[in-house]
Amino acid sequence: MSVPAPSTRLVYRPVTVDDAGFLYQLMTDAAYLRHIGDRNIHDEAAARAYIEDKFLPAYARADGMGVFLAERRADGAPVGIITLLQREGFQQPDIGYALLPAWRGHGYAREGAAALLAHAQETLGLNGLCAIVAPGNEASFKVLAALGFAKRGKILNPTTGMLVTVLDWKAERT
């Protein structure tokens, strides 16, 4: 399976069931719940099952898409996840990311999203992507705008039922 190339401070790899504790922490964080949604992860066992049911099948497709753990190069500390997924109801793959609170505000979201964007374009040959942002998530709007994403409009997310803003990225913008 192809993964995004390492960036300045981060390396990326597929999530494994051994990451269930980290995923439990991330997916129960208040900002995750507010901006991404509740995935009914209430303990490490549920996180492990979520990885097995949702993440591992995506890796088996070997299309270079999926959920990737972002770890600091310096010490291997997991800071968050970056995602490239073909979601139901969307014509283009969706780029996303989520970080634990301790790692927010240090440029890791932008670095990880930029690495994923490069992976999508250079390795997978994708010329267009979208991003889904919950209302009030100004930090994500700033990160995505800096990478060349432009707002398309608002929709109800078919996965969560949340009202979200969809942003688009085209290769010619960068």
Q: What is the DSSP letter of 122?
A: I
Closest of 111, 171, 174, 116 to residue 143, by C-alpha: 111
Beta bridge partners of 153: 166
Instruction: Give 98-151 pLDDT, tens digit per residue.
Output: 999 999 999 999 999 999 999 999 999 999 999 999 989 999 999 999 999 999
Q: Which two tokens stand for residue 80?
A: 């968050």
The sign of the torsion formed by the CA atoms of 172, 92, 112, 33 equals positive
Task: Break the chain into its structural domains and give their ranges.
Answer: 10-126
All residues at 6 or more sequence positions from 55 whose CB lies less than 8 Å from its CB, including other chains: 14, 15, 66, 67
- Model pLDDT, residue 111: 98
Closest of 87, 94, 89, 97 to residue 36, by C-alpha: 97
Asked whether residue 174 carries a pLDDT value surpassing 70, the answer given is no
- Model pLDDT, residue 87: 86
Burial classification of residue 174, based on how many CB atoms lie within 10 Å of its CB (0-12 exposed, 13-18 middle, 19 or more buried): exposed
What architecture is the 10-126 domain classified under in CATH?
Answer: 3-Layer(aba) Sandwich (3.40)
Q: Please report how the helices 138-146 and 108-118 are oriented relative to each other, as an axis angle in degrees rounded to 10.
A: 40
Q: Cβ(131)–Cβ(167) under 8 Å? A: yes
Instruction: Give 17-71 pLDDT, tens digit per residue.
Output: 999 999 999 999 999 999 998 999 999 999 999 999 999 998 888 788 999 999 9
- Model pLDDT, residue 31: 95
